[in-house]
């Protein structure tokens, strides 16, 4: 059967994508699927998932430090103050993905989120986490969905509150990356690690 957990160099089973490139091993083992809390931390993940749309995640992962420098470590209050000069700086920054629509959405989303109460983004996102008892562990990568009812609801809730560039697929990728769901395969060493 394809898409099953496979042994890494240390002999431990992992999700196949987690071994597809050296850069993924630490991300898979130590970060992906681990709970993320805090408005700025979730804003970063939300932005990076939006920038990833239409691209490979490895492209974003390899530029993450560049994104952090360019977007003031994704501190919502700082990015909310970005103006036209910052926009032009970002469009010229080779350390990030220079997509005008994604840059504009990041800046606009920060302005919206700066008006929210502390903890409000965290609470809204986590309110869409499904009950883990209702989600069987995926046996293969084929069993991992791209969109769920919860990610569709999260996308709608964020859009209703004024956020942009967050469709149901992007919302689900956010849920996976931030530990709202555990999509590590059943036999993966990282399954249920938290």
Give the rounded distance of the alpha carbon of 126 from its chain centre: 13
Which of 27, 31, 75, 116 is catalytic? The answer is: 27
Euclidean distance between CA atoms 184 and 141, whole angstroms? 9
Which of 32, 44, 49, 172 is catalytic? The answer is: 49
Is residue 110 within 8 Å of 76, Cβ to Cβ?
yes
172 given a catalytic annotation: no
Q: In the numeric block, which tokens belong to residue 88?
A: 């032009």
24 given a catalytic annotation: no
Instruction: Give me the DSSP letters along 49-80.
Output: HHHHTTS-HHHHHTTHHHHHHHTGGG-HHHHH
Q: Is 3 helix (H, G, I), strand (E, B) or coil?
A: coil
Q: Which of these, 84, 112, 116, 114, lies nearest to 100 by C-alpha position?
A: 84
Which of 57, 75, 116, 126 is catalytic? The answer is: 57
Strand pairing partners for 6? 14
57 given a catalytic annotation: yes
CB atoms < 10 A from the CB of 88, how many? 11
Catalytic residues: 27, 49, 57
């Amino acid at each position: 059967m394809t898409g099953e957990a496979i042994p890494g160099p240390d002999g431990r089973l992992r999700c196949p994508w987690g071994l597809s490139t050296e850069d993924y091993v630490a991300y898979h083992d130590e970060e992906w699927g681990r709970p993320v809390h805090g408005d700025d931390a979730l804003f970063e993940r939300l932005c990076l998932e939006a920038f990833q749309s239409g691209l490979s995640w490895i492209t974003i992962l390899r530029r993450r430090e560049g994104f952090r420098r360019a977007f003031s470590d994704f501190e919502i209050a700082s990015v909310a103050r970005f103006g036209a000069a910052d926009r032009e700086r970002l469009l010229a920054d080779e350390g990030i993905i220079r997509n005008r629509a994604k840059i504009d959405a990041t800046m606009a989303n920060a302005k919206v989120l700066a008006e929210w109460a502390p903890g409000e983004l965290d609470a809204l996102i986590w309110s869409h986490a499904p009950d883990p008892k209702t989600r069987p562990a995926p046996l293969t990568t084929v069993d991992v969905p791209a969109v769920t009812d919860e990610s569709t609801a999260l996308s709608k809730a964020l859009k209703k509150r004024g956020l942009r560039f967050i469709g149901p697929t992007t919302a689900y990728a956010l849920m996976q990356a931030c530990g709202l769901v555990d999509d590590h395969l059943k036999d993966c060493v990282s399954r249920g690690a938290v």
